[in-house]
Every structure is written in C-alpha cells, then in structure tokens.
Amino acid sequence: MNFTRTRHSARSQRNNKLATIAFYTLGALVMLLIFWLLFTILSKGVPSLRPDFLIKQPEEMDAGGGIGPVLFNSFYILFISLLISIPIGVGAGIYMAEYAPDNKFTGALRICVESLSSVPSIVFGLLGLAIFAEYFNVGLTILGGGVSLALLNLPMLARVTEEAVRAVPGEIREAGYALGMTKFHVIRKVVLPVAMPAIVTGVCLVAGRAFGESAVIILTAGLSTSGEMWDFNLFSPGETLAVHLWYVQSEAIVEDARQIADKSAAVLVFVVLLINFIFRFPLWLGRRRGR
C-alpha cells in the first residue's frame, strides 16, 4: 500500500516537473518570437529615422517624403474612436454584468456581442461607407473613420468589461452593501477599481487595433489627406499611418518607397507600444503607492 502511494507520488512529481518545463519553454518561445518580430521591424526603420520624417509631407513622385499629416490623422481618428467607444463599451459591459436580468434576451444579446467581436473589420468599413458616403453623402472623412472604428471596437470592449466586472469576488460587493453603500456606489468605489486592470487591458487592445487598422480607414476615410499638418476638420480626408504604410509598400512609385515603409512600420510599432505604456503606467503607479 505504502509502495503504491510512493510510486504514485513520484509519478505525480515527475509529471509536474515535465509540465512546468513544457510551459516555461512555450512561454520562452512566445517571448522570443515577440522580441524577434520587434527587433526585425525596429532594426530596419529606427537607424534611418529622423525627427523631420515625422512632420514632413508625404511625396508622390520625389524621394524624401515624411508622414506628418498621416501620423496626425492616426492620433486624431484614434482619439475620436476612443471618445465614443470607451464610455459606451464600458457602460454596456457594466450593465451586462451588474444590471441586466439573467434571461433569454440577455443571453441572446451576449451571443450577438460575442459574434460582432469576431466580424472582419472590412464589414464595419462597408457599414461606415454606406452610412457616411452614401446615406449622409459626406464622402470619405476623418469623422467616418473614427465612428466606424468605434463601432468596430465596441463589442470587444463591452465583452472585456463585462468579464472583468464579473471576475470581481462577490464578497467584496457584500462588504460594501454591509457598510450601507448603494449599488452604484459599490460599483464606482469597489467593483471598478478592482476590475480596472482588466478593463485597461481591453482599452489597450482596442486602441492598438484602432491605430493599426487599415481596411476600415480605406473605405471610410480614404487614401489621401488635406495636405495640412494640423487639420482638425472632421470632414477632411483621413489617411492614417497604417493606410500610408500599405500604400507605400504596394502602390507608391517613389524611389525610396522601401525605406519609407520600413520607417513607417517602426513608428507604427513604437506608437502601439507607447499607447500600452501610457494606459498602464497610472495603474502601475497606483499599485506602487498602495504598497
């Protein structure tokens, strides 16, 4: 009997070590792949990147163009999309997790939100094209691109927020109710601070996706800019950095198209990393102060 238990324990220990080694190996491979991709992209573009490249106008025929207006449009459209999607998406997620009744209608609504999260982005581009270019007849604009990106990101943000709020332990809510707090007060002061790291992760995902999206922008904001560096007109054409990168790589006839594409890709990756840092830094700072 004792021999059987000892043998079973030794086998369990061996399986545990093998599983630990396997998972550490998989994690290391994933990290190596990520660092290899980052190094490959950044090493091609960063050495030849100059500050004037970020503010110069793109060139159609001559070499030496920059990405000034398209970079500004990228941030402008990203700001518009987040301004719309964060309040609605987070609010919808909180409603689904805290207020929505558990019935068939809510279940069907949740399935619809999950299905919309996996719809190809070009479908939302076609939707934005139909709404802004055909129904309202305003053409390809920054406003159309921003709103279409917000529609693209709403389902994912709502679903991530719902799961983050549901993951908060019920004992924390009960402690708040025991202190006489209202439901809204418990959500605002207790639930959301605990769920905030997961919600911020969702915001980072949709922000990075919006900044690097091209299919939606091509169909709703176009392949050109107004030619001005700081154009805040919502009805101007809104070519973004991701679209410019695709255009330079596939359609441009300038002699340094390859160098422009490499530098644009490096800037695109760097900005996505910067967006993640900007959103996560306040959380990290808050945890440091909480200790």
Per residue in 261-276, pLDDT tens?
899 999 999 998 898 8
Please state the rounded mean pLDDT for residues 50-71: 86
* 186 and 66 co-located in one domain: yes
* 111 and 2 co-located in one domain: no
CATH of the domain at 215: 1.10.3720.10
* 39 and 61 co-located in one domain: no
What's the total number of domains in the chain? 2
* Domain of residue 104, residue span: 54-290
* 113 and 165 co-located in one domain: yes
Band of residue 128 on the pLDDT scale cut at 50, 70, 90: very high
Residue 285 has pLDDT above 80, yes or no: no
Residues 6+ positions from 192 with CB-CB distance below 8 Å: 94, 165, 199
Digit-coded pLDDT (tens) for 6-48: 666 777 788 888 989 999 999 999 999 999 999 999 898 888 8
* 41 and 69 co-located in one domain: no
Residue 2 has pLDDT above 60, yes or no: no
- Per-residue model confidence (pLDDT) at position 11: 79
* Cα three-residue angle 142-265-197, rounded to 5 degrees: 75
Digit-coded pLDDT (tens) for 169-190: 888 888 888 888 888 899 998 8
Query: Looking at the whole model, is its pTM more than 0.85?
Result: yes
Nearest to 217 by CA among 128, 131, 278: 128
